[in-house]
Structure 1
Amino acid sequence: MTLARLSGATLGYGAGAVLSDLSLTLDPGERLVLLGRSGVGKTTLLAHLHDQMTGAGQRVALVPQDHALVPQLSVLRNVLMGRLDDHGALYNLRSFIAPRARQRAEVTALLADLALEGLADRPVAALSGGQKQRVALARGLYRGGTVMLGDEPVSAVDETQGPLLMDLIAARFATAVVALHDVGLARRFGTRLLGLRDGRILFDAAPGAVEDAQMAALYAD
């Protein structure tokens, strides 16, 4: 079963095309990494995939580049937002006022996996950039689903944490599409690498089939 499909698609905002004649499929079990310079269209492609898959009724965990957190709320409540659409308004209101013991236990265990121990009740506004990014990742992991879509989900953490967090994503989601800027991490995590340049796909292949020269051409001036 194919989870997403594009055939000759043109994607962009308003009248401006960011990506043209784009064709690809996403199958279960694939970890697709989007590579390319800033502004090439990785975020646009992720947004389109999100709309397509959620429109088809698939459960998608999203980790946006801007985190999309509520700074005044605690870490715990921001993570709980990952499942807001699972329940009605009254259930969600009660959870936000007084989170259930089961919810707190689930989120606390997840925060420990992300090196955020002891921060469940801290306002997001008081966190560092790297901590905020991990809270956004925690919300996506807490949501769960068929596939995770991540837009630079580990860009604000150090080179030691990055691989560990990507391993956590791989362990929780059989299928993922992520935009990364770290080529080494992309080769380590992905089963497919999709290189974007000048509005088109430069390569779409397994990591071992992408040569260093192809990768260099992706970022060359």
Structure 2
Amino acid sequence: MGEPLLELRGETAGYRGKPVLRDLDLTVNAGDRVALLGRSGAGKSTLLGLIHERLRAQASLVPQAAALVRTLSVFHNVYMGRLDRRSTLHNLRTLIRPARADAEEVRATLRLVDMEAHFSAQAGALSGGQQQRVSVARALYDGRPVLIGDEPVSALDRRQGGAVLEQLSQRHETLILALHDVPLALERCDRIVAIDGGRIALDAPSRDLDVAALARFYEASA
């Protein structure tokens, strides 16, 4: 077990002043692969938002919506993962003519998610699944030790999703992912945190669980 990166004790999380989650007790250690599960609206995105706020300096983010600049190229959208680590002058020059080293690094990153062929394409012209892979590539290019992903493979089939999660696992020390695919979560993460009734209702090793044990967190509320 790695050192603790995050400790929440009895905390509340919400948005626009409205509580969504209460009495949050959660510890995330370096090296954890955590899957957040729960039905739609349970508060997974709210919890990820709180975690990202606390770990921002250490975390790369794959948001639920790809959040790409549709009028810019795939290259430029991935390059944005390191905007804060380049000078303003370098970033302005990159809008016009990317440096060869930057272009090659981005190409190599796109290759990891099978999107190198779309290097120069306009982001807005891509399919939903392709946009999601570009969003993942941006996080990979960012390269911080913690990866926070809000349904990062929801637009991909299970094979593609598993391949993308493998790339994230290889290149980020710690993963915290909201996932809707329970078998994929059990396969790719070592810890399951389930949200129900505005609270964390389960926090257990994946090896001790199966799909049937987690079904109640996806059944429609009465």
Specify every segment of 5 or more residues in structure 1 that has no aligned partner in the other structure, as ranges.
none
- For the residues of structure 1 that align with 2:174 and 2:140, how far apart are their CA atoms? 13
- Equivalent position SS for 1:21: strand
Matched with 1:15 is 17
| 1:62-211 equivalences in 2 (<5 Å) | 62-211=61-210
Counterparts of 2:39 and 2:216, CA distance in 1: 11
TM-score (norm 1): 0.95
The Cα offsets for residues 60-113 of structure 1, whole Å up to 9 and x where unpaired, read as 110001111100000000000000010221111112211111111111112122
The percentage of aligned residue pairs carrying the same residue is: 44
How far apart, CA to CA, are the structure 1 residues paired with 2:212 and 2:155?
27
Asked if 1:44 is matched to 2:9, the reply is no
TM-superposed deviation, 1:217 = 1.2
CA distance in 1, matches of 2:126, 2:218: 32
The separation in 1 between residues aligned to 2:165 and 2:182, in whole angstroms, is 13
- The two structures have a TM-score, normalised by structure 2, of 0.95
**Partner amino acid, structure 2, of 1:38:** S
Aligned residues: 218
CA deviation after TM superposition for structure 1 residue 24, in Å? 0.4
Provide closer, same or farther for how the CA distance between residues 119 and 211 of structure 1 changes in structure 2, counting only shifts above 3 A. closer
Q: Which amino acid aligns with 2:139?
A: G
Write the deviation string for residues 11-43 of structure 1: whole angstroms up to 9, x where unpaired: 001232111101101110001100001111111
SS at match of 1:118: helix
Contact 2:74–2:122 (Cα < 8 Å) also in 1: yes
Q: CA RMSD for the aligned pairs? A: 1.1
Letter in 1 for 2:51: L
* Distance in 2 between residues matched to 1:92 and 1:213, nearest whole Å: 50
Structure 1 CA distance for aligned equivalents of residues 211 and 175 of structure 2: 24
Cα 1:201–1:118 shift into 2, 3 Å: same
**What is the one-letter code of the residue matched to 1:93?**
L
User: Once the 2 structures are TM-superposed, how far is the Cα of residue 213 of structure 1 from its aligned partner?
Assistant: 4.3
Q: Which residue of 1 aligns with 2:30?
A: 28
